[in-house]
Structure 1
Amino acid sequence: MKLVVRVKLLPTPVQVLALEATLHACNEAANWLSSQAFEKRVASRAGLQALSYGELKARGLSAQPARHVLRKVADAYSTLKANLKAGHQGRPGSKRHTKATGKSIAFRPQAAQPFDDHCLSWQMPERTVSIWTTTGRIKSLAFAGSADQLSLLDAHRKGESDLLCQDGQWYLIATCEIPETTLNAHPAGFLGVDLGIVNIASTSTGTRHSGRRMNRRREADRTLRAKLQKKKTKPAERRAKKHAGKEACRARDINHKISKSIVAEAQRTARGIALEDLTGIRERARLRKAQRVTLRSWSFHQLGSFLACKAKRAGVPLVHVNPAYTSQECSQCHHIDRRNRPAQDRFACRSCGFVEHADLNSSHNIAARGWWTWVRGAESQAPALIVIA
């Protein structure tokens, strides 16, 4: 199982200049190579190497960085080809398709650049790295990370690492390969998880992760952003830039905490996790205008992916179930009626009289559907490739 660990670099001003020059040189070379690949219709690694390896070396790149630039460009065109084949760029002749195929792929000056063990070495006891740059090798470049990240790097780091500059901060993204945890093939039951707006997640054991405080913060962020955009002054632009990304960072942190809590509970009770398949929910849902902003801004997909990744690492089976009528179905007698929801947070069955919190009732239905999905032969849908740590 592969995990991606991101650690923060702590370069000196001189080291920052060397890292910037390296990223700019690599991405300038990638842009030049991309234009050559587009003009001559050559996108394979072997074809690009025969076409331009000498030119890349002449641009100041040593052997390994030149090969990584070649691979980066070839992989970019392979991804574009796959997206075109899958129809993700629209139909041929459409404006979106023409825009994607009408010019060469461009790389940002500070786009990530991969480094292998020939160009980058880690000194874990000293918490430093030695990295190749266009101005010479930098030694004793300090880095920092959490205790969990450092222990993973020390024990399981393997393969390439990406150098990345984001908002003026420098990071190394390293790949770790850890032994897979044996999947619990015989869960005692399933933990149903109902995702919502008022309550971000409600489990069938009665745990509710409220989103009221988070929604108030998001509303305040939107109000501040609109206020700053109306001013159109330099100080307002600086303040808006300072606050940019904080909302997404806060939501990501909350999603990590919620998913960690749910997976820990499922692992402790030897159960699997059942989630609703909410693909396309934003297009299907009919809400008032005030509710649409909240629905479209909360990252339900991110929370689901965090749950899937953590479940994979813990050996907890995870399945997705049909979300149809989970909020209108009685978890006791299974009677379905729209009138069973007299209020947003209240469920009252008009057939058997069962009364419960609406989210808890939905989570019971999801748990039952998860169990039936599993016993009918469904496989765990937790991903097998990459987890963000």
Structure 2
Amino acid sequence: MKLVVQVKLLPTPVQAAALEATLRACNEAATWVSEVAFRKDVRNNFALRKLTYDAVKAQWNLGAQAAQHVIKKTCDAYAALKANLRAGNFGKPGSRRYHRATGRSIVFRAEGAQPYDDRMLSWRIDRRCISIWTTVGRIKNVAFTASPEQLVTLALYRKGESDLVCRDGMWFMSATCEVPEAPLNAGPVDFLGVDLGIVNIATTSDGEIMAGRELNRIRGRERTLRAKLQRKNTPSAKRRLKKRRRKESRRARDINHKIAKVMVAEAERTGRGIALEDLRGIRERVRLRKPQRATHSSWSFAQLGSFIAYKARRAGVPVVYVDPAYTSRTCAECGHIDKANRVSQAWFACRNCGFVDHADRNSSRNIRARAWELWRRGAQSMAPAPPSRQRGSGAERKRSVTSSGARCASRSL
């Protein structure tokens, strides 16, 4: 499987100036190539290369490999745009967002990432430095720093391209590594159900609750501070906004990594698989009041799910995605479905058998049961159909119940 190892570069001021000039030239060239591709409606790499290759080399003083990577980067950007349009991420055809995305050529930021191959970049991992091509010539002995685990991964598994990235005045190199996967556990003894939420980031069927109250408080404090600084709109306020703009996302990413690591380790230790909800499209399906929108939009459930998936794949742990419909209303003991079962955000009380439990723990048990049934029946959804008189609202309508609403990650991965 492919993993990306990101190391921090420590260039001298002269080296940093050369790297900055290189990124600026490559992205200016990519913007010009994008205009040509848009004007002449050419998206194929080889066809676009015939139209732009010579001009890119001559006008921006790029080498042969750099020019080819600039053209390929442009084609990849249009391919990504096409995929997003097809997925509906820019709205329906004819909408304002759709027209804004398709009505002009793609523009690359001056500090956008630039791919490098082994002809343009050499790694000296033992000396913790790289030799890299720039528009002013090849620069040697550009130092970088990395953890011992990253160094081992780079030394053993680095393969393919690396990306030069400039972010907030800091330089990074993202290297692609081909890491071997562990053999998939084709016979799990059970599944570890995981309920993803906002108040509690993740709750497992074992009863472990990973609360998100602290993270939500930090996010609320950051939103209040951002609004205050934006209203102030002074130079010092703008500098402070720029300094803090990625702090919240870094903290959430770190927490999600730690949660995913704990869950995968527990599933691997006990010989179980992991059961997750398929929450694709939930933001479009729910209707929220204005005070709830910011909290719901900052809910990074997709990131946590992707972290669990790739860590499980590396450890050989199967992952099954189930239909999340009515998991929070269904009793994990008797299977009774009723909207009134969900007494509050935190508690579940079955109106049929009297079973009482934490609401998220009850949901995770339902997810685990659906995953186990799914695994035994060959990835066919067994989500129970709710009574016709009961209609979910808001976040309860996570997903309409369909016969194909579940995916088995052991096959999709």
- Fold shared by both chains (TM-score > 0.5): yes
**1:8 lines up with 2:14 in the alignment:** no
Matches within 5 A, 1:1-389: 1-58=1-58, 59-378=60-379, 380-381=408-409
Structure 1 residues 329, 94: CA separation in 2 closer, same or farther (over 3 Å shift)?
A: closer
Structure 2: distance between partners of 1:79 and 1:284: 24
SS in structure 2 of the partner of residue 129 of structure 1: strand
Please, which runs of 5 or more residues in structure 1 have no aligned partner?
Answer: none
59-68 vs 69-78, which moves further: 69-78
Structure 1 residues 108, 274: CA separation in 2 closer, same or farther (over 3 Å shift)?
A: same
C-alpha displacement of 1:280: 2.6
Structure 2: distance between partners of 1:382 and 1:288: 38
242-251 vs 35-44, which moves further: 35-44
C-alpha displacement of 1:200: 0.9
Identity %: 62
75-84 vs 257-266, which moves further: 75-84
The answer to whether the Cα contact below 8 Å between 1:18 and 1:133 also exists between their aligned partners in 2 is yes
C-alpha displacement of 1:61: 0.9
Structure 2: distance between partners of 1:219 and 1:92: 35
Provide the TM-score with structure 2 as the length reference. Answer: 0.88
The structure, 1 or 2, with the larger RCO (C-alpha pairs under 8 Å, 6+ apart) is 1
Structure 1: distance between partners of 2:292 and 2:88: 31
Structure 1 residues 11, 382: CA separation in 2 closer, same or farther (over 3 Å shift)?
A: farther
- CA RMSD, Structure 1 to Structure 2 (Å): 1.9
C-alpha displacement of 1:18: 0.3
2:121 alignment partner AA: L
Instruction: Give deviations 1:1-58, integer Å, cap 9, x for gaps.
Output: 1111111100010001000111111111112222222223333222222222222221
C-alpha displacement of 1:87: 4.8
Structure 2: distance between partners of 1:289 and 1:345: 22
C-alpha displacement of 1:220: 1.2
Structure 1: distance between partners of 2:150 and 2:122: 17
Instruction: Give deviations 1:140-161, integer Å, cap 9, x for gaps.
Output: 1011122221111011000111
Q: What number of residue pairs does the alignment pair up?
A: 385
C-alpha displacement of 1:301: 1.2
141-150 vs 342-351, which moves further: 342-351
Structure 1 residues 7, 91: CA separation in 2 closer, same or farther (over 3 Å shift)?
A: same
The answer to whether the Cα contact below 8 Å between 1:278 and 1:323 also exists between their aligned partners in 2 is yes
Structure 1 residues 86, 246: CA separation in 2 closer, same or farther (over 3 Å shift)?
A: closer
Structure 2: distance between partners of 1:82 and 1:329: 37
The answer to whether the Cα contact below 8 Å between 1:335 and 1:351 also exists between their aligned partners in 2 is yes
Structure 1 residues 73, 154: CA separation in 2 closer, same or farther (over 3 Å shift)?
A: same
The answer to whether the Cα contact below 8 Å between 1:321 and 1:370 also exists between their aligned partners in 2 is yes
1:310 alignment partner AA: K
The answer to whether the Cα contact below 8 Å between 2:321 and 2:371 also exists between their aligned partners in 1 is yes
The answer to whether the Cα contact below 8 Å between 2:180 and 2:314 also exists between their aligned partners in 1 is no
1:54 alignment partner AA: D
Structure 2: distance between partners of 1:283 and 1:339: 25
Provide the TM-score with structure 1 as the length reference. Answer: 0.94
SS in structure 2 of the partner of residue 236 of structure 1: helix
175-184 vs 333-342, which moves further: 333-342
Structure 1 residues 233, 123: CA separation in 2 closer, same or farther (over 3 Å shift)?
A: same
C-alpha displacement of 1:82: 4.0
